[in-house]
A and B are shown apart, each in its own frame.
Chain A
Amino acid sequence: MDRPAQIKFPIPEEELVYSGHTACPGCGAALAMKYVLKGLGPRTIIVIPPSCMGTIAAGFPFSSLKIPVLRIPFESTAISASGIRAALDVMGKEDIHVLAWAGDGGTFDIGLQALSGSAERNDNIIYVCYDNEGYMNTGIQRSSSTPAGAWTTTTPAPFVKDTPKKDIVRIMAAHNIPYIATASIGYPADLIRKVKKAKEIGGTRFILIFSPCPTGWRYSPEMTIRLAKLGTETGIFPLYEIENGEKYTLSSKRSEKPLRDYFALQGRFRNLTKENLQQFEERVEKEREYLKRLAG
């Protein structure tokens, strides 16, 4: 029986990631990379600061990506990308995309000033932050992306993190850059659609990708996608796009599942109290209302 050979999932076939990389089993960041490169294609240069992805993509003398990778210092992701962009423009290679790729530590904390600078200048780069809510590469330290109530090695139980996650998207929205999106590895088709949309726009584009981390979040690796989906389905990580800092579009994803479904799977939330949960619920509800209002 002859059967069509095309891939059934609506995503591009070309694989720009090699097997054999050193990501942990079930790594969400590795999937995020796989999808983003499927969206951007081979004419891409990527800039990576210290992060899990730094070790996954290019641990000397190996590289797991089929595109050029430049490893740069922690705080300089965006500005390095801007520099490469300027050089490519001078060389007339305008069809090459420059991708800045950092974790939440390298984006929310350490790389924030460079990112803000590039965004303010509206440099023509795509900045992807794969968000696993902590410094996972160095041993699970808290970052400003770590949610309240979460255990990390620097917020050990019972002194779990007591401040909520920094809202990086609002910070970026305040820069009025052409395109901002949140995406999740749980929804590859949606993620790649957003990457492709960003690809067609000039200026600074920022994509925040929800990338569960089995090692740092303390869950069994096979649950990575399930957890990514739950993040969105419970409303913890809403998916939306912002164009020019003002046009909000919500991706229609269900957000009706109870928050505890999401927390129950993760060891890092084992110490979550009833009050924590209630605060979470209120915050999620508030965020939902806020986004709804902006999306009109």
Chain B
Amino acid sequence: MNVAMGQKPFVAITYETTESNKTGSWRFLKPLYQDKQSPCSAGCPAGEDIGMIEMLARQGLFKEAWETILRENPLPGVCGRVCFHPCESVCNRKDFDSPIAVHALERFLADAAVGAALTTKWERLPQKNQRIAVIGAGPAGLSMAWFLSMLGYPCDIFEALPEAGGILRWGIPEYRLPLAVLQSEIARIEQLGVRMRTNNAVVSETFDELRRSYSAVFLGCGHAHGAPLGIAGETPESVKDGLDFLRRARQGERPLCDGFSVVIGGGNTAVDVARTITRFGGNAAILYRRRREDMPAFGDEIAMALEEGVELEELVAPSAIEYHNGRLRLLLRKMKIKGQDKDGRGRIVFDGKKTVKKVIDHVFAATGATAAEPWYSPPLAQRGVMGFSHCVLLLEAGGAPVIYGGDLTNEAKNVAQAIASGKQAAMVLDTYFERGIDEIKSRLEACVVGDGPALSMEAYLGGPRGGRSSHLVQYGEINTDYFQNETRVTQPRLAVEDRSCSFNEIELPITAESALREAGRCFNCGLCDECDNCYVFCPDAAVIRSGNMENRHINYDYCKGCGVCAVECPRYALIMGGEGL
């Protein structure tokens, strides 16, 4: 108080700032930064950190975004094309306008990385002594090898066919998955030191030998054997295997399919077979015993097939086949819907005694597949057998542990689940070797993304993702005041006339500009993107920011706990907790 009395009138002058007043003592609720789980990540079988990937992509950090995918999924170029993207159907943004085009962005990031010849130095765990044999170079085996390499295990992949890829190489037509895309992903896995031993079929004798010379064997040779229809008059010549047809087409052959072919089945294989036939110049019809809406094939693929001239007949089931004047005559029974099955699809029953006869040139079965050898199948539950959601571990005296994965163990058989299987198997084996059998279950539980069963390798390796709360963010928890309606990116496609006569890839890339815009639509549910709302809206100037998350914090000396920051957090990455927290 340096006021010279007598010279000026008396005025009370403050001499201290309010900073000596610790208003934090008023607080009974405490704001906390807490990253959470987004529904997309939990919905992704591979558990990709999608909210983070889109956040990085929006900031133009394409390389970092791509690396973030690879931490959980070694095949982004493949999954960006052929995955059924369950992430999109659970995207919170669907309740606002339309879901994020996660698959288009994943593909964009993968292609951009390949285009720019990006490489990355992975921080891998120190090399282990155990060598692992991986049987089958399909998505499960590739994923297993990738994650095992991350964990420091040298491994060799044994593949019966001349090239790696499994169903990706031999089952999915090139118009959906170009060869170059697959090859670059396999090359990246090989760069980690994985040895690829192609043309190396494992039979039961060599299998036993592998169990002696390796520390563990992963069996992921898939369901590559098409199941027969089981109808009267069926022979391998009259009813051909759809998978075998696709395999031969991808080997560069032109399998016989002139005239009119029918494909029995409703899955992607059936649609792929029919579309491949039209590309070879034949005519094809898909015959399905249920309705179009019940087909397990992707809706978009069915629609495109119809555009390309494939016919679809619903509610017919084959019952007999015979030769007829050098052609084939297929006897079909008509079906009708009566009620609903547990999975929500229509339950079918015979429609009285109604039948149809069809005279055609070829019949292809695509009604499902099984393991080629009975010993591929995992053993039933017994002593020494541990079952997990995506793999089965067999421990028995007299041989190295065997771990079954991929289609052999997965309930849902698709690429993403196969990748999930490889990842889980890698974690199971690593925990078994490092910490023993009793710790496997708890260690896996600690890596679950959201409500599971997806697992995070980043969390397994002790990365920051493991520190997130397990809370799955709901749409109502997003503050939509900070988002505007924006149209979802549409992936451009080849015109019908250009695609139905060639095997060129149908889906065309999106531009970097639209990728940025699409990534910007993402709510990044539960993840702080440093939008600064908490800082801007704090009435007590008690949010301290300094450019990065490590230093962003709340000054609890002054925070009164009003909760404005938590409400105005667009992404639900800030919550109010009790003072005791």
Contact = CB atoms under 8 A, between A and B. Distances in A.
A224 B535 contact: no
Interface string B512-545: 0000000000000000001111011101111001
B33 to A, nearest CB: 16
B23 A21 contact: yes
B547 A63 contact: no
Nearest to B22: A20
B49 to A, nearest CB: 14
B21 interface: yes
A62 B536 contact: no
Contact of A61 (B14, B26, B546): B14
Interface of B: 12, 14-23, 26-27, 59, 61, 64, 481, 530-533, 535-537, 539-542, 545-548, 555, 557-558, 560-564, 566-568, 576
Nearest to B545: A7
Given A25-B561, A222-B567, A226-B568, 6 more contacts: A19-B555, A24-B560, A25-B27, A28-B539, A61-B16, A69-B14
Given A3-B530, A19-B19, A60 B540 contact: no
B444 to A, nearest CB: 29
Interface stretch (A10-18, A163-171, A275-283): A10-18
**Chain A facing B: main interface SS:** loop
Given A18-B19, A20-B20, A8 B530 contact: yes
Contacts of A129: none
Contacts of B561: 25
Contact of B17 (A22, A30, A62, A221): A62
Contacts of A8: 530-532
A50 to B, nearest CB: 14
Contact of B564 (A58, A61, A63, A224): A224
List the 7 closest A-B pairs by CB distance, nearest first: A222-B563, A5-B547, A25-B562, A19-B558, A26-B562, A20-B18, A20-B21
B555 to A, nearest CB: 6
B546 A5 contact: yes
Contact of A9 (B64, B531, B548): B531
A229 interface: yes
Contacts of B27: 25
B61 A21 contact: no
Contacts of A18: 17-19, 541
Q: Which of A11, A24, A26, A69 has most chain B Cβ within 10 Å?
A: A26
Contacts of A3: 59, 530, 547-548
A17 B531 contact: no
Contacts of B19: 18-20
Interface in A254-292: none
A27 interface: yes
Nearest to B539: A30
Contacts of A4: 547
A34 B16 CA distance: 19
25 contacts: A3-B530, A3-B547, A4-B547, A5-B546, A17-B541, A18-B17, A18-B19, A19-B18, A19-B541, A20-B18, A20-B20, A22-B21, A24-B560, A25-B27, A25-B539, A26-B560, A27-B562, A31-B539, A60-B12, A62-B14, A188-B537, A222-B563, A222-B566, A224-B539, A224-B562
B546 A188 contact: no
B14 A58 contact: yes
A155 B536 CA distance: 35
B542 A19 contact: yes
B570 to A, nearest CB: 12
A63 B17 contact: yes
A23 B558 CA distance: 11
Contacts of B568: 225-226
Contacts of B540: 19-21, 23, 30
A223 interface: yes
Interface string A52-63: 000000101111
Contacts of A225: 537, 564, 567-568
A21 B22 CA distance: 9
Given A3-B548, A222-B576, A62 B564 contact: no
B92 to A, nearest CB: 19
A25 B27 CA distance: 9
Interface centre among B64, B536, B545 (most CB of A within 10 A): B536
A122 interface: no
A64 interface: yes
A30 B560 CA distance: 13
A188 B562 contact: no
B529 to A, nearest CB: 9
A90 interface: no
Contacts of B564: 26, 221-222, 224-225
A5 B548 CA distance: 7
A91 interface: no
Contact of B23 (A7, A22, A222, A223): A22
Nearest to A29: B539
Contacts of B22: 20
A65 to B, nearest CB: 9
A15 B538 CA distance: 12
Given A3-B530, A62-B14, A221 B562 contact: yes
B534 to A, nearest CB: 11
Nearest to A63: B14
Contacts of A21: 18, 21, 23, 540
Contact of A15 (B541, B548, B563, B566): B541
Contacts of A15: 541
A229 B14 CA distance: 35
A111 to B, nearest CB: 21
A4 B539 CA distance: 25
A229 B18 contact: no
Contact of A64 (B17, B531, B536, B563): B17
B53 to A, nearest CB: 14
A5 B532 CA distance: 11
A62 B536 CA distance: 24
Contacts of B542: 19
A224 B23 CA distance: 19
A9 B567 contact: no
A62 B23 contact: no
Contact of B563 (A23, A27, A221): A221
Given A4-B547, A63-B14, A226-B567, A11 B541 contact: no
Find the residue from B23, B539, B542 having the highest chain A CB count within 10 A.
Answer: B539
A64 B535 CA distance: 18
A163 B40 CA distance: 52
Interface hub of A9, A18, A23, A34 (most chain B Cβ within 10 A): A18
Contacts of A34: 539, 541
Contact of B15 (A28, A61, A64, A222): A61
Contacts of A61: 12, 14-16
Contacts of B23: 19-22
Contacts of B567: 222-223, 225-226
B27, B59, B537, B545 pick with most chain A CB within 10 angstroms = B537
A182 B547 CA distance: 32
